[in-house]
Structure 1
């Protein structure tokens, strides 16, 4: 079976992946956490899965490139510099980076992109998300993924349309913007709602994560799919054949 190495093995996602890997048709080559050398694991694994921290991404990418090992990156909170490093690594090895490994969220992103493409700019787009009290980044990586899908459907970029939160006298809503709002509390695994608000009608597309296993299962599926791919940057939609 394909041997998966986990960066961030002691975290929530790392522990779940370890627990279900065998049932999903994979084995675990080992795990690396903060302070550990990522290189030996990269050399031992058939494919790597990263659910660590943004600060560790570049060293993990370097280890993957050195060993020639494909890597799935599910870590969120990435900056433009991180994405540049991912692009550089993808010229040498297969890299799949996503804000959410859930297969359901992946399909939701396709639906959001298609809806945005078919509805005019007079339909306002707002994205709301809620996560557990321990989540450190906001908006969530999934919310950003959905925002990017909506922007792509409108043939623009999220950087040009994004509005984070609203407080005070902000004025009327600007046409064509994509708004975000974030809630944190309790043990919520992950709820996301994309609202298309038009004149006298509203379309709502959403996803509720009820168990962290859905993300682990999707990550393993992505890792198994990526293991034999040539160098390049891949997306979760490709894992589903979309």
Structure 2
């Protein structure tokens, strides 16, 4: 069986460690590199030491050193880190799975440009369930294009630094596209004071931060005499890990192009 040679960014973090453990248990994936910031206490240690195993792969802060044996890098870090990794991946021909959120429009354009040279799966949420939910939202929006007010409510742990979540924004984009609207023009991110009546063409967002909530997302379609709620709730980060490994496998025979989880799951 062919082994997928995968490097992991943020190897000392929660997602990084879950990815490393999942790769070890996968049967068809091999940990070939591990990256973290220079200040991380894990630098120089075996990447699997946290689990009591030995991988033979050390955690590096030098990006080229961490990628030299990799076919694919999986990155769930911060935008500035991902952009640094992107530049080196493009230079070395290493494919990329990006689960990082919070990018600016300019950074998204840079990712799209890099995809002309390397294959990239870029999705704000790697969960299979979330992406099936996005497809359901597309169908619902088309069926309820008039007479329904749309609100997106998301909840995450107290440590999350961006709001709304990348997944909530993706939900808004999918719904807006299905309705022929531009999310930049119709999104409402805050309400306070005397706001006036709700604009029926708007898509509202509400963000909750607290405790150790992994990630809850609900889209409310509120009509006259009824409301429809489509929800996805994560109880563990394992769904993101399994989806990102599926994305890495998807890239095996692709040399360039920008893909998302709809491509990976054949939902288009």
Once the two structures are superposed, the pairs formed by residues 1-242 of structure 1 within 5 Å of their partners are 1-24=3-26, 25-35=28-38, 36-242=61-267
Q: How far apart, in 2, do the equivalents of 1:232 and 1:214 lie?
A: 24
Which one has more relative contact order, counting CA pairs under 8 Å at least 6 apart?
1
How many residue pairs match? The answer is 242
How far is the alpha carbon of 1:227 from its aligned partner?
2.8
In structure 1, the gaps of 5 or more residues are none
Contact 1:161 1:178 in 2 (8 A): yes
- The C-alpha deviation readout for 1:58-94, integer Å capped at 9, x for no partner, is 2111111111111010001111011011111011111
How far is the alpha carbon of 1:221 from its aligned partner?
0.9
The 3-state SS of whatever aligns with 1:181 is strand
How far is the alpha carbon of 1:212 from its aligned partner?
1.0
Deviates more, 1:22-31 or 1:97-106: 22-31
Superposition misfits of 4+ residues, deviation over 6 angstroms: none
TM-score, length-scaled by structure 1:
0.96
Query: What is the match of residue 57 of structure 2?
Result: none
TM-score, length-scaled by structure 2:
0.87
- The C-alpha deviation readout for 1:162-207, integer Å capped at 9, x for no partner, is 1112122111111111110011111111000011111111111010
The 3-state SS of whatever aligns with 1:44 is coil
The 3-state SS of whatever aligns with 2:134 is helix
How far is the alpha carbon of 1:241 from its aligned partner?
1.3
How far is the alpha carbon of 1:159 from its aligned partner?
1.1
Q: How far apart, in 1, do the equivalents of 2:232 and 2:221 lie?
A: 15
- The C-alpha deviation readout for 1:99-118, integer Å capped at 9, x for no partner, is 10000001000111111112
How far is the alpha carbon of 1:28 from its aligned partner?
1.1
Q: How far apart, in 1, do the equivalents of 2:95 and 2:182 lie?
A: 28
Contact 2:7 2:34 in 1 (8 A): yes
Q: How far apart, in 1, do the equivalents of 2:179 and 2:234 lie?
A: 27
Cα RMSD (Å): 1.2
